[in-house]
Amino acid sequence: MVGAPDLADTVHRLRGDFDGILASLLSGIDKVALLDFPDHGNVGDSAIWLGEVTALRNAGVKVVYAATRSMYRREAIRARLGDSGAVLLTGGGNFGDLWGASQTFRERVVRDFPDHLVVQLPQSIHFEDPGRLQESIEVFSSHSRVHLLVRDRRSLEIARQHVGERALLCPDAAFSLQLRRAKVSTQQILRLLRRDKESAAHESSSGGVALLERNSSPVPVRDADWPPDPLKPVSSRNASAAMGRRVYFLKRRLLAVAQDTPRINLAPGVAERWAEKRLLGGVSVLSQAPVAITDRLHGHILCLLLGIQHVVLDNSYGKVSRFVETWNTTSEHCVLAANLLEANDIALEWFASGIDFPD
């Protein structure tokens, strides 16, 4: 596969960095609560959760409590952890005021556990409102045992305002995963582009397959984003199957609650199962084409993990480029482009030069 050796080297380097930092922070701790499970269809957040669980398992640390924001119960966590466990907040790109519910939740957790070790797993930080930034700084700076792991140098500057030297630069948790690429099913360019408020409004077709030309030779280009959440009904055609999956998981969830009354939580094994189903959908999308263009940070990270040659675009506030520049993830087979037009040209050149299509 074109690009596999150097992409693999990048993955190996960043996996070692993340695993080492996490193991060092949790030295002497054998049980944790892992909070803010991403119960939605964003594939990147599921990859992060699974990477965190993998790294914790490798470090000999047991997740004894997992929960979404709505399932969070402070006293239940205290009962599980005692005085010696740690509280972990899942990583991602929602530290700040762009995704307010996640920020409000993590500040609540920091207030609720003033005496426990609290670790915010790798995040990107972005505030648009200076007043909201100051509120966050006041909450975190009042806690003497909270650590902030961040994914880029600009975020590190902001995190240092929160917790000083307890802010650490750390790669994304998804690098702890080991993934296998599915068989390439089409000879086309995939453009995986955001359609939410982090989109930089890269102009592309509204979906489906378009055609680009290089030297009068048309090349099919498919525009897509992450697939619909496989655990939620999306149409009448597949509602029955989706509902069946939901019922199955609900039974597992109720069983977990019944065995743990009155502590309401999401059984860690169920959380992993949900995250795996969502991640597999994203891997399937990325595996369809030999060359990809993406403005999603985890489009980029999963392409690295899968050995897919790709062009990277920025999101609305610079999160993607900050990560790429901090960790030097570009190479002969991974290029950061200024805009979609440049990205198209690079991908077309790669495509025309002859991609080594895997069997």
pLDDT per position as a tens digit, 260-286:
443 456 888 889 999 999 999 999 999
Is residue 63 within 8 Å of residue 26, measured between CB atoms?
no
* Torsion angles phi and psi, residue 206, rounded to 5: -75, -5
Q: Which helix (H) or strand (E) holds 89?
A: strand 86-89
The pair of structure tokens assigned to 344 is 């198209």
pLDDT of 204 reads: 52
DSSP strand pairing (208-214 vs 189-192): unpaired
SS3 292: strand
Break the chain into its structural domains and give their ranges: 4-176
Is residue 179 within 8 Å of residue 281, measured between CB atoms?
no
pLDDT of 8 reads: 84
pLDDT tens column, 73-88: 999 999 999 988 999 9
Q: Is residue 190 scored above 50 in pLDDT?
A: yes
Q: What percent of the chain has pLDDT over 70?
A: 83
Neighbours of 288 (CB within 10 A): 16
Start-end of H helices in 147-224: 153-163
Helix axes 43-58, 268-286, angle to 10 degrees: 130
pLDDT of 325 reads: 97
From CA 108, how far away is CA 229, in angstroms rounded? Answer: 28
pTM of the entire structure?
Answer: 0.88
pLDDT of 182 reads: 78
Question: In the block, which residue shows the tokens 């397959």?
Answer: 209
Note the CATH architecture for domain 4-176.
Answer: 3-Layer(aba) Sandwich (3.40)
pLDDT tens column, 52-76: 999 999 999 999 999 999 999 999 9
* Residue 357 pLDDT grade (very low, low, confident, very high; cuts 50, 70, 90): very low
Range name among 151-165, 200-214, 280-294 with the lowest pLDDT average: 200-214
* Residue 210 pLDDT grade (very low, low, confident, very high; cuts 50, 70, 90): low
Q: Is the dihedral of CA 37, 40, 45, 49 positive or negative?
A: positive
